[in-house]
Amino acid sequence: MASASTPTPGTDANAQLARRYPEDIATQGNIDLVDEICTDDVVDHSPLGELRGRDELKGQISMLREAFGDFSATVEDVVTEGDVVAMRVTLRGMHRGEFMGHEATGNTFEVGNMVFTRIEDGLIAERWVQPDMLGMLTQLGIVELPEM
């Protein structure tokens, strides 16, 4: 597996491209960048459902940014191998709008998120996103954990 200390050709460019989604699109709100960096038929797999195409991705990012004020996705670690980039990302925000059928609670959250991104011909073709949904929903006060 390639690492930051021994990059293989193309892996640095792939890592930089993959980072643009959480950093520039999710955090900065540059939603139109999806058209520049993703394939027409990009696929996104996550607990929120499978999204197909740029418009569905843009719709989901818009929803998240409306539901969570000060939403951010901070890339903590990046590992590349071939056309796949793995990232450990920290998600943060404040629940200010409707999310998954729940009205705003005003609570904040900070959870881990694992993202695998497949690059094809210099564009993001597919993403597998696994946020800590239980941690997020618990911190928001939507889910209550049982007593231990």
Nearest CA among 41, 35, 6 for reference residue 120? 41
pLDDT at 124: 98
How is the chain split into domains, by residue range? 11-139
- What is the CATH number assigned to the segment(s) 11-139? 3.10.450.50
Dist. CA 129–CA 107, nearest whole Å: 23
Sheet holding 68-81: strands in order across?
49-52, 38-46, 123-131, 108-120, 84-95, 68-81
Does residue 48 have a pLDDT over 90?
A: no
Range 30-54 average pLDDT: 97
pLDDT at 2: 45
- For the chain, state the CA radius of gyration: 16
pLDDT in tens, 72-106: 999 999 999 999 999 999 999 999 999 999 999 99
Q: pLDDT band at residue 11, thresholds of 50, 70 and 90?
A: confident
Does residue 69 have a pLDDT over 90?
A: no
